[in-house]
DNA sequence: TTGTAAGCGTTATCAC
DNA sequence: GTGATAACGCTTACAA
């Protein structure tokens, strides 16, 4: 099962190894006769170049290292698609490692990527702290995607949480809601900025912001909503940290005998395919995920090829996808 | 930004490069004094071994190449988790490439993996045909996961579709259903065996199987269900090819004014988190995804380390997760 | 226990 | 156009 090498091909084609190398990298300065001879030999042997040897000799890998915080989250999958498309276009390969929501594992993933000599790191939804990020960025250009804008030293691609939250609030206010609660993301890295954006938008509308701690999973909805019900403080609208949490909210409200959107309107965040499922039909803030992936690549390319050194911080504008989970409040702000 | 090499470390620690290598692979035959000297030098320099150089010298990579057919499908993510865990346990790394539902892209991914000298290929939900699979398996041990059992030459890990379909049918029959329709998976590679399992289970129960062509996405439900409604042939229960399709079914039934499970019971396949969302509450056949991933690794290990040569074909037993989308039929088999 | 040196499969720099 | 030959960074006999 030992694979053929350039020498094998060279011998079979009756040429030197260097010639084979030239053919493989389709150099113009090689005669047609030899070229076809080499290609034939290679095909016959099923020759595939050894990337390790090439990287070593070339002193570059044309490879990006991606780390996704959670392979299960559909939000990240779309970012990765954007990265892959853009990388491909520029002749770069992409290595994906799964952070598994675990900082320790993510740390090891960074190390693995660096050992593979990737030319840049793209961290999607990272759990690493600023020190670690800064350290990594000293070894290879590093960009973080979708993890809040405030990380000194590294490049960042984000979608503005303040604007996103305002989009949700304004939509609800326009429908006539005045009693709106935000269920926050708990420990999630984006929890704070999103909640801050909510508070700000509410105040701008002359309303008092109410924030209840929740989390970033479906299961985190229950405690929060139950608390609201028990305190008889159910609002006419709920703005959830993300789609998954919103899905949980939908469910708990239903069990409590409250109808969406008749009794309570619900807004999610991310606009993943969960929101898009017609059965959920969730109004949600949309982050331009693919675009974010593409920009991450572009940002890294600027570092590698045009050796930019000044940090980039791109903050994109989210949009709102309006669906069936929001409507005008039934009464004038009191729960039934 | 040029990174330190073993020579840099050796020089700094005042030893030979070979000694550094021994330390890095923590060989027992090196004095404590030199060991700490080397480790200190390495740490001070931020030394990271170059994996390409190592692979080249060692003539092995201790790496598996995974290709997932669709990074967006939550079913595959779980299989990958199982693979990662098992690989990790045996000191193997894992490289993930995304097939993107596109055979051409998957073909290139196989090639990339082979160029990286992976020691085995794990194809999750592949779209390649038997010829291509056989060809790949001649270069590196290859196992396919979750793509139907009939692929000569390569190892396979599957969950039995016949049993899975029977689980669904028997559950519905036990509830009293006699009029059950299967919406199949269209072009999906698992469509045929699953439909065959359905037909078989129905006949075993003395019932006539009805199969309607659909697909493997949410959007594929509409045409199929609309057809049933228009022909006034709506059954009391629908067994969908997968969860996504079932989600679509739920939605279309709802728009048509039919209640689940009162008017129609619905069963999905895969038991992804979509089924588990309480708002969907979908009864679904469950495949042991993690286990399948673990077994894939084990199967490859047997080839690599114990040089097994006989093909393995593991066919696991699915189970049924019963939820709110199934219940007894309202009437005696006629639609209202 | 440590060092020397050959070799892994490429690419790149020269001569020819 | 083509072919030697020296890197690339590491491992691994074999010597010392």
Q: What is the pLDDT of residue B334?
A: 47
Query: What's the DSSP call for residue A312?
Result: P
Query: Is there a contact between B210 and B155 (Cβ–Cβ < 8 Å)?
Result: no
Mean pLDDT of chain B: 93
Query: Is there a contact between A286 and A320 (Cβ–Cβ < 8 Å)?
Result: yes
Residue A193 lies in a domain: yes
Nearest nucleotide, CA A56 to C1': D8
**Looking at the structure, do residues A168 and A247 belong to the same domain, yes or no?**
yes
Structure-block tokens of residue B177: 């259903």
- pLDDT above 90 coverage of chain B, percent: 84
Q: Report yes or no on whether pTM surpasses 0.85.
A: yes
Residue B198 lies in a domain: yes
Which is nearest to A174 in space by CA: A326, A285, A336?
Answer: A326
Round to whole Å and give the CA distance between A196 and A189. Answer: 13
Cβ distance of B96 and A93 shorter than 8 Å:
no
Q: What is the pLDDT of residue A335?
A: 45
- Helix (H) / strand (E) element for A268: namely strand A265-270
Q: What is the pLDDT of residue B162?
A: 95
* A65 min Cα distance to partner chain B (Å): 11
Cβ distance of A274 and B278 shorter than 8 Å:
no
Cβ neighbours of A95 in B, within 8 Å: 95
* pLDDT by position in tens, chain A (length 336): 579 999 999 999 999 999 999 999 999 989 999 999 999 999 999 999 999 999 999 999 999 999 998 887 888 989 999 999 999 999 999 999 988 888 999 999 999 999 999 999 999 999 899 999 999 999 999 999 998 778 888 999 999 999 999 999 999 999 999 999 999 999 888 899 999 999 999 999 999 999 999 998 889 999 999 999 999 999 999 999 999 999 999 999 988 999 999 999 999 999 998 899 888 899 999 999 999 999 999 999 999 999 899 999 999 999 999 999 999 998 644 444
Cβ neighbours of A96 in B, within 8 Å: 96-98
CA B62 to chain centre: 22
Query: What's the DSSP call for residue B115?
Result: H
Q: What is the pLDDT of residue A100?
A: 84
Query: Is there a contact between A322 and A172 (Cβ–Cβ < 8 Å)?
Result: no
Query: Is there a contact between B165 and B200 (Cβ–Cβ < 8 Å)?
Result: yes
Cβ neighbours of A56 in B, within 8 Å: 50, 52-53, 56
- Helix (H) / strand (E) element for A173: namely helix A161-175
B17 Cβ within 7 A of any nucleic strand C atom: yes
Question: Residue A245's CB: how many other CB atoms inside 10 A?
Answer: 28
Residue A220 lies in a domain: yes
Considering only alpha carbons, which residue of chain A is nearest residue B96? A96
**Looking at the structure, do residues A267 and A174 belong to the same domain, yes or no?**
yes
Buried b / exposed e across A258-280, counting CB within 10 Å, b at 16+?
Answer: bebbebbbbbbbbbbbbbebbbb
CA A78 to chain centre: 7
Nearest nucleotide, CA B18 to C1': C3
Which is nearest to B296 in space by CA: B146, B113, B118?
Answer: B146
Residue A56 lies in a domain: no
**Looking at the structure, do residues B181 and B223 belong to the same domain, yes or no?**
yes
Q: What is the pLDDT of residue A189?
A: 82
Question: Residue A135's CB: how many other CB atoms inside 10 A?
Answer: 15
Structural domain boundaries, residue A141: 61-159+289-316
Cβ distance of B52 and A48 shorter than 8 Å:
no
Give the pairing of strands B319-321 and B283-286. antiparallel
Residue B335 has pLDDT above 70, yes or no: no
Structure-block tokens of residue A204: 């701008």
The packing angle between helices A243-255 and A221-230, to 10°, is 40
**Looking at the structure, do residues B211 and B283 belong to the same domain, yes or no?**
yes
Model pLDDT for residues B269-297, shown as the tens digit of each residue: 999 988 998 888 999 999 999 999 999 99
Q: What is the pLDDT of residue A334?
A: 47
Phi/psi-derived region of residue B249, left when phi > 0, alpha when psi is between -120 and 50, beta in every other case: alpha
Model pLDDT for residues A173-204, shown as the tens digit of each residue: 999 999 999 999 998 888 999 999 999 999 99
230-249 in A: which are within 8 Å (CB) of B?
A: 247-248
B208 Cβ within 7 A of any nucleic strand D atom: no
C-beta within 7 A of nucleic chain D, residues 52-71 of A? 53, 56-57, 59
Q: What is the pLDDT of residue A170?
A: 98
**Looking at the structure, do residues B209 and B272 belong to the same domain, yes or no?**
yes
Q: Which nucleotides of C are covered by protein (CB under 7 A)?
A: 1-5, 7-13
Which of A51, A248, A280 is opposite residue B116, by nearest beta carbon? A51
- Listed in sequence order, the DSSP H helices in chain B are 6-13, 17-24, 32-45, 51-58, 74-89, 103-115, 130-139, 161-175, 191-204, 221-230, 243-255, 273-276, 289-304
Model pLDDT for residues A226-259, shown as the tens digit of each residue: 999 999 999 999 999 999 999 999 999 988 999 9
Q: What is the pLDDT of residue A87?
A: 97
**Looking at the structure, do residues B115 and B65 belong to the same domain, yes or no?**
yes
**Looking at the structure, do residues B153 and B296 belong to the same domain, yes or no?**
yes
Give the pairing of strands A319-321 and A283-286. antiparallel
Cβ neighbours of A140 in B, within 8 Å: 1
Read off the CATH number of the domain in which A19 is found: 1.10.260.40
Q: What is the pLDDT of residue A331?
A: 62
Residue B95 lies in a domain: yes
Cβ neighbours of A116 in B, within 8 Å: 51-52
More confident residue, B69 or B54: B54
Nearest nucleotide, CA A50 to C1': C9
Q: What is the pLDDT of residue A303?
A: 95
Q: What is the pLDDT of residue B330?
A: 84
Residue B335 lies in a domain: no
Q: Which nucleotides of D are covered by protein (CB under 7 A)?
A: 1-5, 7-13
Domain count for chain B, please give it: 3
Read off the CATH number of the domain in which A84 is found: 3.40.50.2300
**Looking at the structure, do residues A83 and A130 belong to the same domain, yes or no?**
yes
C-beta within 7 A of nucleic chain C, residues 226-265 of B? none
Query: Is there a contact between A236 and A179 (Cβ–Cβ < 8 Å)?
Result: yes
Query: Is there a contact between A65 and A120 (Cβ–Cβ < 8 Å)?
Result: yes
- Judged by a CB distance cut-off of 8 A, whether residue B60 touches chain A is no
Q: What is the mean pLDDT of residues B214-221?
A: 92
Structure-block tokens of residue B329: 């039929």
Cβ distance of A279 and B250 shorter than 8 Å:
yes
- Judged by a CB distance cut-off of 8 A, whether residue A56 touches chain B is yes
B18 Cβ within 7 A of any nucleic strand D atom: yes
A–B interface: beta-carbon pairs under 8 A: 116
**Looking at the structure, do residues B176 and B283 belong to the same domain, yes or no?**
yes
Alpha carbon separation from B7 to A109, A212, B3, B18 (Å, rounded)? 25, 57, 11, 9
Model pLDDT for residues B59-110, shown as the tens digit of each residue: 999 999 999 988 878 889 899 999 999 999 999 999 999 888 889 999 999 9
Residue B333 lies in a domain: no
Count CA within 13 A, CB hemisphere, residue B167.
23
3-state secondary structure (DSSP) of residue B85: helix
Residue B223 has pLDDT above 70, yes or no: yes
The secondary structure of B241-309 as a DSSP string is SSHHHHHHHHHHHHHTT--TTTT-EEEEEE--HHHHSTTT--EEEE--HHHHHHHHHHHHHHHHTS---
Round to whole Å and give the CA distance between B17 and B63. Answer: 25
Query: Is there a contact between B241 and B185 (Cβ–Cβ < 8 Å)?
Result: yes
**Looking at the structure, do residues B108 and B21 belong to the same domain, yes or no?**
no
Q: What is the pLDDT of residue A333?
A: 43
Residue B184 lies in a domain: yes
Cβ distance of A139 and B111 shorter than 8 Å:
no
A148 Cβ within 7 A of any nucleic strand C atom: no
Round to whole Å and give the CA distance between B170 and A257. Answer: 33
Cβ distance of B98 and A84 shorter than 8 Å:
yes
**Looking at the structure, do residues B167 and B283 belong to the same domain, yes or no?**
yes
Question: Residue B21's CB: how many other CB atoms inside 10 A?
Answer: 17
Sign, CA dihedral B199-B205-B209-B214, equals negative
Structure-block tokens of residue B97: 């490439």
3-state secondary structure (DSSP) of residue A180: strand
**Looking at the structure, do residues A294 and A282 belong to the same domain, yes or no?**
no
Q: Per-residue confidence at B221, pLDDT binned at 50, 70, 90?
A: very high
3-state secondary structure (DSSP) of residue B215: coil
């Amino acid at each position: 099962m030992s694979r053929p090498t350039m020498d094998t091909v060279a011998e079979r084609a009756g040429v030197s190894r260097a010639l084979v190398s030239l053919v493989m990298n389709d150099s113009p300065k090689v005669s047609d006769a030899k070229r076809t001879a080499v290609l034939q030999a290679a095909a016959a042997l099923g020759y595939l170049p050894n990337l390790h040897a090439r990287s070593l000799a070339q002193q570059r890998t044309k490879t990006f290292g991606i780390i996704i915080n959670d392979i299960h989250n559909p939000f990240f999958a779309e970012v990765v698609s954007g990265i892959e498309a853009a990388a491909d276009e520029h002749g770069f390969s992409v290595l994906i490692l799964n952070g598994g929501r675990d900082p320790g594992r993510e740390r090891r993933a960074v190390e693995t990527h660096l050992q593979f000599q990737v030319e840049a790191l793209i961290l999607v939804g990272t759990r690493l702290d600023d020190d670690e990020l800064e350290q990594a960025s000293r070894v290879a250009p590093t960009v973080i995607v979708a993890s809040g804008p405030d990380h000194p030293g590294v490049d960042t691609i984000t979608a503005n949480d303040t604007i996103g939250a305002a989009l949700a609030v304004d939509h609800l206010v326009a429908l006539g809601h005045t009693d709106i609660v935000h269920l926050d993301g708990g420990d999630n890295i984006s929890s704070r900025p999103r909640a801050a954006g909510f508070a700000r938008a509410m105040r701008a509308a002359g309303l008092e912001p109410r924030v209840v701690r929740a989390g970033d999973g479906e299961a985190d909805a229950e405690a929060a909503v139950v608390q609201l019900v028990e305190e008889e403080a159910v609002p006419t609208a709920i703005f959830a940290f993300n789609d998954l949490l919103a899905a949980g909210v939908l469910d708990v409200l239903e069990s409590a005998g409250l109808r969406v959107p008749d009794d309570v309107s619900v807004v999610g965040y991310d606009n993943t395919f969960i929101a898009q499922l017609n059965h959920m039909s969730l109004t949600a803030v949309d982050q331009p995920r693919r675009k974010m992936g593409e920009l991450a690549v572009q940002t890294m390319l600027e570092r590698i090829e045009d050796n930019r050194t000044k940090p980039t911080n791109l903050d994109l504008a989210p949009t709102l996808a309006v669906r069936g989970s929001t409507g005008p409040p039934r009464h004038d702000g009191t729960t039934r």
